[in-house]
Amino acid sequence: MKMEDMSLSGLDNTKLEALAQDIYSDLVEDACLGLCFEVHRAVKQGYFFLDDTDQESMKDFEIVDQPGVDIFGQVYNQWKNKECVCPNCNRSIAASRFAPHLEKCLGMGRNSSRIANRRIASSNNMNNKSESDQEDNDDVNDNDWSYGSEKKAKKRKSDKVFLHSLKQHIPLNPNSPRRSKSVKHKNGELSNSVNADPYKYNYNTGINYETLGPDELRSLLTTQCGVISEHTKKMCTRSQRCPQHTDEQRRAVRVFLLGPSASSLPDADTMVESDCYDASDGQVLMSRLQWDGSSDISPSDSASSKASTNNSDSKKPKKKKKTSLGLNSTGGGGGGSGSGGGSSSQTSLVGLSNRKKKPKLPVPPAPSIYDNLN
């Protein structure tokens, strides 16, 4: 292209079109030439015919076009009816089912361990005749009244340790229907406080308090009843409000297990620490707190903060932020209906919940609304 040609503004359409055609044909010719040079070089260098096959092989690998057969000449479901002998159980299995069967047979697949455990658990349950969910055998709650479950639980501990280590990766949702269903069987009451436990506590540690360290004991006792049964020497795994045991018993257990300094009933903490705290439970909660609050907490701000610090000494609270928020909202709702004692323990509750975030912060001004009730 000459430099004068570059000023295209002077050209009209026909010339532009002619120019375009010229450019196009130049390009195509360029491509052809390129191909020629390539081929010529290949011929002279001797590799032009290299990718060809000889006639004989061409005939061998010709595309097959018969019915019932694919293009390679293979029959489609030739091995469907063949049977293989399993090396493990020596049964003859259909070929298409062989791989899944081997998975289950050797116990190496993804589901095989789960199914095996389920089978073990259900056979155990049928032996025991104890009440437990047939579906949720993984999280069976062993009550301290089933004698047979003591041995089974210890065995199952090893079985389920790895299963639970798997399960711990899953965020525990206390609201999942599985968990609430299994616990409703047992307690029928504040089921969620039991479910707040990590999985393994449900049946493992409900058995034997001797095997637990002080930290585990403490965290257990804040959520479970924990009263040690006389005949089985096991801790009750029910909630803090389980009807079998009185609060005095619970207090005694705590003194026994954690020492006299931990004698304050962690009921308030329990309420605080349960993951799921509906507004509907607020009423129930208030009535409980009335009973507790009158003994522990005096109806004034300074005293309530003292009570909260008392509790903080004895326990290592497991708290999630969700809980404190839930409490604050229910505190507002429940406090209105509570009486004098209720309101004061309410203040302690709110104080506690705030204490988790900033220990030195005094009780928030919300309780001041309820002071006139006193």
Q: Which parts of this chain interact with other proteins (CB under 8 A)?
A: 1, 3, 6-9, 11, 16-17, 19-21, 23-25, 27-37, 39-40, 43, 48-49
* Residue 76 C-beta: closest distance to other proteins, Å: 31
Rounded CA-CA distance 155/124 in Å is 11
Q: Quote the least distance from Cβ 65 to other proteins, whole Å.
A: 22
Nearer to other proteins by C-beta: 13 or 280?
Answer: 13
Tell me the closest approach of the beta carbon of residue 58 to other proteins, in angstroms.
Answer: 15
Residue number with CB closer to other proteins (37 or 61): 37
CB of 25 to other proteins, least distance (A): 7
Least distance from other proteins to the Cβ atom of residue 29, Å = 6
Rounded-to-integer distance, Cα 221 and Cα 179, Å: 20
In the structure encoding, which two tokens stand for residue 260, read together?
């006299």
3-state per-residue secondary structure call for the chain: CCHHHHCHHHCCHHHHHHHHHHHHHHHHHHHHHHHHHHHHHHHHHCCCCCCCCCHHHHHHCCCCCCCCECCCCCECCCCCCCEEECCCCCCEEEHHHHHHHHHHHHCCCCCHHHHHHHHHHHHHHHHHCCCCCCCCHHHCCCCCCCCHHHHHHHHHHHHHHHHHHHHCCCCCCCCCHHHHHHHHHHCCCCHHHHHCCCHHHCCCCCCCHHHCCHHHHHHHHHHCCCCECCCCCCECCCCCCCCCCCHHHHHHHHHHHHCHHHCCCCHHHHHHHCCCCCCHHHHHHHHHHHHHHHHHCCCCHHHHHHHHHHHHHHCCCCCCHHHHHHHHHHHHHHHHHCCHHHHHHHHHHHHHHHHHHCCCCCCCCCCHHHHCCC
Tell the smallest beta-carbon distance from residue 49 to other proteins (Å).
8
Q: Shortest gap between Cβ of 27 and other proteins (angstroms)?
A: 5
If the CB atoms of residues 9 and 81 are measured against other proteins, the closer one turns out to be 9
97, 99, 104, 109 alpha-carbon torsion, rounded to 10°: -140
Separation between Cα atoms, residue 315 and residue 24, nearest integer Å: 86
Q: How far is the CB of 14 from other proteins (least distance, A)?
A: 12
Taking the complex as a whole, the smallest distance from the CB of residue 81 to other proteins amounts, in Å, to: 43
* Closer CB to other proteins, 47 or 145, in the complex: 47
Q: Give the Å distances, CA to CA, from 357 to 114, 289, 309, 322, 352.
A: 40, 22, 13, 12, 9
Least distance CB 2 / other proteins (angstroms): 9
Residue with Cβ nearer other proteins (38 or 135): 38
CA distance 202 to 168: 13
Instruction: For other proteins, give the closer residue by CB, 38 or 62.
Output: 38
Is 49 or 72 the residue whose CB approaches other proteins more closely?
49
Nearer to other proteins, 35 or 325 (CB): 35
Of 18 and 325, CB closest to other proteins: 18
Q: Considering beta carbons, is residue 4 or 60 the nearer one to other proteins?
A: 4
